[in-house]
Amino acid sequence: MPKNAIYPRHSHPWGELVYSYSGVMEISLKDGYFLAPPQYAVWLPPNMEHQGLNRQAAVHCSLYVSLDLCAPLPKETTALEVSPMLRTMLEHLRETEGTNPNDPAHLRFMQVVVDLFAAGQQVGSFLPWSTDSLLEPILQHLQDNSADNRSLAELARLHETTERTLIRRCQRDLGIPFAEWKQRLRVLKAMPLLEAGEPVQNIASSLGYNRASSFIAMFRRMTGRTPDDYRKSVMKFKS
């Protein structure tokens, strides 16, 4: 999909798993917003109205799941962790596109893919958001200034509140600690830069890291791959 592509808002009577081989797919619902970077997929239950978009160029797939096979999968829309084995199987599906969909061996393979998705850890929206009057301005500030390394306590003082208050509201609205939210944001900011061929050192510096090694360690912890491994996988799908 080219940059700034948008799918029309729609729904269907089957489930859908959206997975990005490269880039980040964004899924908008009536009451929520979900992101699918390459280490996660977004699960949409049957009859869930949604719209897909991508701000940067992306390569993705949609895996449609028959209603009678949806029972083991989550009842609500969520991002699901993609294991290394599942990622390899999805890459195999892309490489063997055009396989007879009714071939028994292919159907067995697809059932295992669905089973692995059903066993995947649910991670909510990957980068949750809040409209809280205290928290939202801080999240928006970091969206616009990802290299800001001020602590939560310093940001609290800047916005005339307390660190304790922001910690409570992060847990209530985001469901994850503030530090993890900031790391997830930086991963998303780094991905298009890696895809564009920017040196890792430059990306690390633009995101507020004094050493590239610290950025590399964070990226690997969050995605299961080093920045260079991620870049290589993306270039494979773009070639």
The enclosing domain of 232 has a CATH number of 1.10.10.60
Mean pLDDT of 5-21: 95
63 confidence band (pLDDT: 50, 70, 90): very high
* Last-in-domain residue among 85, 119, 153: 119
Residue 78 belongs to some domain of the structure: yes
Q: Does the pLDDT at position 212 exceed 90?
A: yes
* Last-in-domain residue among 56, 89, 119: 119
98 confidence band (pLDDT: 50, 70, 90): confident
Q: Does the pLDDT at position 237 exceed 90?
A: no
Q: Does the pLDDT at position 234 exceed 80?
A: no
Give yes or no: residues 45 and 113 share one domain. yes
Predicted model pTM = 0.79
* Last-in-domain residue among 119, 150, 175: 119
Counted domains in the chain: 2
Write down the pLDDT at residue 30: 85
Give yes or no: residues 151 and 231 share one domain. yes
Percentage of the chain exceeding pLDDT 90: 77
Give yes or no: residues 79 and 146 share one domain. no
Q: Does the pLDDT at position 38 exceed 90?
A: no
Residue 128 belongs to some domain of the structure: no
223 confidence band (pLDDT: 50, 70, 90): confident
Q: Does the pLDDT at position 65 exceed 60?
A: yes
Percentage of the chain exceeding pLDDT 70: 98
Give yes or no: residues 29 and 115 share one domain. yes
List, as one string, the DSSP characters of the chain: --TTEEPPPB--SSEEEEEEEES-EEEE-SS-EEEE-TTEEEEE-TT--BEEEESS--EEEEEEE-GGG-TTS-SS-EEEE--HHHHHHHHHHHHTTT--TT-HHHHHHHHHHHHHHHHSPB-TTSS-----TTHHHHHHHHHH-TT----HHHHHHHTTS-HHHHHHHIIIIISS-HHHHHHHHHHHHHHHHHHTT--HHHHHHHTT-SSHHHHHHHHHHHHSS-HHHHHHHHHHHH-
Residue 130 belongs to some domain of the structure: no
Give yes or no: residues 35 and 66 share one domain. yes
Give yes or no: residues 106 and 160 share one domain. no
Domain that holds residue 229: 135-238
Give yes or no: residues 144 and 55 share one domain. no
Mean pLDDT of 171-198: 93
Q: Does the pLDDT at position 206 exceed 90?
A: yes
Write down the pLDDT at residue 224: 85
The enclosing domain of 58 has a CATH number of 2.60.120.280
